Amino acid sequence: MLQALVKELALRNVNVAPHKDKKQQWVDGDHIVILTEWDTPYGRSLGKAFESAAKIALPEDASSVAPRIQQYVYLHGIDGRLPGDPKESPRSDSQKDQAAPGAVMTEATEGLNQSDFLRRLALRLKDQNAILRREGKEIRGVGLLGSDVFDKLMILRALRPEFPNAIFFTDNFDAHFDRREDWDDTHNLVIASPFGSTLPGKWQSRIAPFRDNYQTATYVATLFATDKMKENDVKNVTLAPRIFEISRKGAYEFDKRYPAVEDIPSDDLEKYWFRDWLASDWVRYKLAIGSFALLLIVGWIGLSLVDQRLPGGGSSRERLKRVCSSTAFWLTCGVPVIVTGVAWLSQQGTADEPLAFFSGISIWPSEMLRLIALLLAVHFMIRASVDLGANEREVTRRFFPGSPPSEKWHWRNPRLGLRRWQKEHPDWGGADTPFSAKDAWFAYLVRNQFWPRFIRIGTLFVIYFCFSVAVSTLFPHPVTPARGPIAFTADTAVLYPTVIAMMILTFYVVDAIRLNSNFIRIFTYGVTTWEPGISLGRERIPPLEEKELSRYRDIFFVAQRTEVVAPLIWYPLIVLTVMFLARSSFFDNWTWPLSLILIFTLNAMWAIGSAVFLRRAAEQLREAAISNLQLRRVLSFKEPEKQRTFDELIAEIRRLKKGAFAPLTEQPFVRAIVYPSGGLGLLAVGQRLLDIF
């Protein structure tokens, strides 16, 4: 049984025995803590027996290394209650009370009660783990090898919060471990036991599952003694220890096969349920037909919608292009493929990691969410590029009819588009300096080309990647709660592309927002000159002159451009949210080391900070425009008609809530979230604070 525990921990990347590192050199085993009972010879021998089990398969050339197992002992019955105690407070009831969720253990430094021992032990192990972390190591496993389930529950409650990355394991199955009330303490506990709660096939028959492995063993012994079970049958049901993991739905047994036992199939149906379902009763063809029909429905709905921005609502090709670039289309097509593909992969080979969606013992739902995050990141970059390009063409057609910018990027001139505005156009930075709006727009388009943006994003990515690697090495490496080589390989193959795509998307959005923020500041500090004949929907030239409409046109020009730029902030935040959900402990025993918290927080703050700067730049431009129009209104005191027109323009600018001028409370995505939750008031307060600072 202990040998089975050693093998099970190795499947989870916890090497109790000495093993070879990446350089194929033998190294000592991982740090393991074993807690056993002191007051029985059996309990005192378990620690040494576990260490011997780790050395069984050790070759001769590994004689210089050894397991790193520390053994601690405790007295049976930690709460101190004895069988002869009064009936009103029997020992088992007291243990249940102290092992109950949320219970506070009564500690005393005298008498039979040893609860204070657990606190001191937890502090000692915590200090020891802190020393190991300075060497880049930590305690990887904690074993509870005893006979009293209530003692184990009390130990779990004391040690589990201090070692969130460690794998807790024990011997002997007991139904008390899979109680829902004890889930916070026993979740993902690995159990190796000679028996479970049931026997296969006809041996269990109509008998309810037993309470623990001792009752099951007694039942087997009774069947054998009464000649109901033959010797060969006894050998088969005791052929190998059973391995369990405590899930949200109870104890999950990893391998339920009982060779050569009647009425039991040789294959484990629960282990390969998805693969068998996918290969049965024409399921694949039905899924293919259903998927094709779903695509037709989505395409039909998309082609029936018109786009008011295009003449005639857009051609069929333009509508089809819009459908293919929509988020709903990508999710409708991509999510079923991801779920089916990951589920199929999870049951290939030995299928060590179970496919369970809501049991809390499987990483496959997390990998599905990460692939969805990767899908969204790629889609959002494509959609942002398409939307920004369409908006550029629309703005150019409406405000600057004529030829496009003449300067193009060339590999011989890599600095094109990378130079700062102040160095490229120093005459634009002065206060009240006149410059052409068309020249400023074309200079912006030069910086907005693909290759200049690619160079900027690539530079940021390399810098931030080096920062992330440095931060990750300063703290313990995040532990993957996987089981088996397929699961570990899949996790690595999915995690790195998703993280890279998330970083690139974040820098893409940050670069687009920052470029527009700098562009808005040029309009704020300088005085733009516009070409005559530009219509903004309402003709106000008489009685106003062209120069008097300059600031008004600045505002609506920026609003038109940032109508596409401002919503980009949600793209990295959505992907980051999906990544956050993928690491939820609801799916498996995922933890949050400080390095991941820091990296995730910086990603979110980088994107949000860029949006705040864009909003601030837009508000500064609004204030500058209002001040300019108010000054002109005062100067036109002899012309009441002009004053009324200026009043209309000022009121319209104040009411403008479009693009970067729209507060966060007016964003459709935010409203869709906060209205059902009643959080609009808090969001408004946050928006006010952003406006102040």
Nearest to 130 by CA among 428, 444, 476: 476
Q: Is 671 exposed, middle or buried (0-12, 13-18, 19+ CB in 10 A)?
A: middle
460-471: per-residue pLDDT in tens?
Answer: 899 988 888 888
* Number of CB atoms found within 10 A of residue 261's CB: 19
Give phi and psi for 22, each to the nearest 5: -65, -25
The answer to whether residue 312 scores a pLDDT higher than 80 is no
Place of tokens 């900027």: 456
Three-class secondary structure of residue 101 per DSSP = coil
DSSP state for residue 174 in the 8-state scheme: B
- For residue 145, which phi and psi values (nearest 5 degrees)? -110, 90
Q: Which residues contact 402 (CB under 8 A, 6 or more apart)?
A: 438
Q: Average pLDDT, stretch 288-302? A: 77
3-state secondary structure of 20: strand
Please report, as a single letter, which amino acid is at residue 170. T
Give the DSSP H/E element, type plus range, for residue 317: helix 316-324
- Give 1's pLDDT tier (boundaries 50, 70, 90): confident
Q: What is the DSSP letter of 315?
A: -
Q: How many CB atoms lie within 10 A of CB 269?
A: 10
Model confidence pLDDT, tens digit, residues 176-216: 888 888 888 899 999 998 888 888 777 877 888 888 888 88
Assigned CATH topology for domain 2-172: Rossmann fold (3.40.50)
Asked if 422 and 429 count as a contact pair (C-beta separation under 8 A), the reply is yes
C-alpha dihedral (34, 36, 41, 47), degrees to nearest 10? -10
**Residue that wins the pLDDT comparison between 200 and 631:** 631
Q: Is the pLDDT of residue 77 over 70?
A: yes
* Statement: residue 149 has pLDDT above 60: yes
3-state secondary structure of 573: helix
Please choose, from the candidates 588, 576, 556, 574, the residue with its C-alpha nearest in 3D space to the C-alpha of residue 660. Answer: 556
User: Could you give the count of Cα atoms lying within 13 Å of 411 in the half-sphere of its Cβ?
Assistant: 0
pLDDT at 310: 56
pLDDT score, position 378: 93
Q: Can you tell me the mean pLDDT for 647-669?
A: 78
How is residue 147 annotated by DSSP?
S
Give ranges for CATH 3.40.50 in the chain.
2-172
Could you tell me how far CA 50 lies from the centroid of its own chain? 36
**What's the pLDDT score for residue 357?**
87
What is the pLDDT, as a whole number, of residue 286?
Answer: 81
Q: What digits encode the pLDDT tens for the residues 17-51?
A: 887 777 777 778 888 999 998 888 888 888 888 88
Over residues 519-523, the mean pLDDT reads 85
CA dist., res. 555 & res. 653, Å (int) = 7
Residue with tokens 């020891």: 128
691, 593 Cβ separation under 8 angstroms: no
Say if CB 460 and CB 572 are below 8 A apart.
no
Residue type, 29: G
Sign of CA dihedral 22, 24, 27, 33: positive
Average pLDDT over residues 144-163: 88
Inter-residue contact 617 to 660 (CB < 8 Å):
yes
As a three-state string, the secondary structure of 331-395 is: HHHHHHHHHHHHHHHHCCCCCCCCCCCCCCCCCHHHHHHHHHHHHHHHHHHHHHHHHHHHHHHHH
d(CA 499, CA 593): 16
